[in-house]
Structure 1
């Protein structure tokens, strides 16, 4: 069963390539300092948000994403980072 069919899929989007990236830093005058291109050599190509019961399941899904075909149709082994979504602070 796919993670979408299992109700684990929440959201996902592909992102524009490096030529469309703007890096923004706070300027000393309070205005944004904007440069073209990513801040690092690695580029975020997209994201998936899944709602799973365990970290192990999230890692299984990430491994499947890593194995997706790349250029030429060959299975890839691209890195996939797994980040938990920070919990909202509780209010008293």
Structure 2
């Protein structure tokens, strides 16, 4: 399997089972969630399966090339949208099954009331280079 990307979606579709928006969590609930994420990454660092990860701010800008020189810029994405990427983690595991297992654990991060949020995570393998043929 090699490297895979786990994308965390903020209130993505389908919605988490524990559907309480993070901006409505108490500071203690946010801290517990962040500690879970940190401890999860630290554990994977110990097994050599963690590559990198970051949380993303809800503010952002859309940019695209328009063929005219300076690319147009528009506001967004917005935290109110149904599908905002909240963060990502890159893992390097031996199998698809292990990647699914870890994604399931990450989905159980605590949310409001300390209950697992059961969020959907997007699991995306990285393209790997085709083998080099030498003659």
Bin the TM-score by the shorter chain.
0.7 to 0.9
Q: Which runs of 4+ in 1 moved over 6 A?
A: none
Cα deviation code 1:56-80 (max 9, x no counterpart): 1011111111110123322111110
Question: Which residue is equivalent to 2:71?
Answer: 32
Alignment gaps of 5+ in structure 2: 1-42
Count, aligned residues:
89
Q: How much has 1:90 moved relative to structure 2?
A: 6.0
TM-score by length of 1: 0.81
TM-score (norm 2): 0.58
Question: 3-state SS of the aligned residue for 2:64?
Answer: strand
State the Cα RMSD in Å: 2.1
Structure showing the higher helix proportion among its residues: 2
Taking CA–CA contacts closer than 8 Å with sequence separation of 6 or more, which of the two structures ends up with the larger relative contact order? 2
